[in-house]
Amino acid sequence: MKKLGLKGKSWLKGFHIFFACAWVGAGISMLLLSLLDGHIQNGDELYAVNASIQLLDYYIIIPAALGSLITGLLISLFTNWGFFKFNWVIFKWVATVAQIIFGTFWLGPWTDSATAIADLERGLALQNTTYLYDKQMGAVFGSIQVLLLIAQVLISAYKPWGKRGVQH
């Protein structure tokens, strides 16, 4: 497979970093917004906070996650990093795919459900057990998701664990 030159590799890495920053930043923003539930004055504010979280998910998290996945794929294909040469790259691949799957099938639906309930019930949503469950699961697993994203950023910077098959 033909490898990218220095300039192409730099552009690709720059876009990869951009998408990672957007994903982490939006995740942190969603968590901070979810902390507002206890300070909300009325049902309209409750819905607005939930709708804001959902908008961040749809318009920043999803594109950033896909951008990270695609640029990571291109980096693995067209540079010497490869897919399976380095343990830290394998970890990042597994973590990224797992996070996208978890976000698609659990975090996203919890966000959508909480937003729909808040839209329908406004302030009464705070007594709805499904709403409370969805918000709690989103907060707990969203926090884990953000911590894992931060770990991936640090792993990219430090590149621990070395090459596969090489004993230290």
Q: Is residue 167 one of the residues assigned to a domain?
A: no
What is this structure's pTM? 0.94
Asked if residues 81 and 89 have their Cβ atoms less than 8 Å apart, the reply is: yes
Q: Is residue 165 one of the residues assigned to a domain?
A: no
Q: Is residue 148 one of the residues assigned to a domain?
A: yes
Count of the separate structural domains present in the chain: 1
Give strand ranges (E) for the chain.
none
Model confidence pLDDT, tens digit, residues 78-136: 998 899 999 999 999 999 999 999 999 999 999 999 999 999 999 999 999 999 999 99
Asked if residues 44 and 100 have their Cβ atoms less than 8 Å apart, the reply is: no
Model confidence pLDDT, tens digit, residues 22-64: 999 999 999 999 998 778 999 999 999 999 999 999 999 999 9
- Supply the range of the domain harboring residue 64: 6-158
At residue 167 the predicted structure's pLDDT band, cuts being 50, 70 and 90, is low
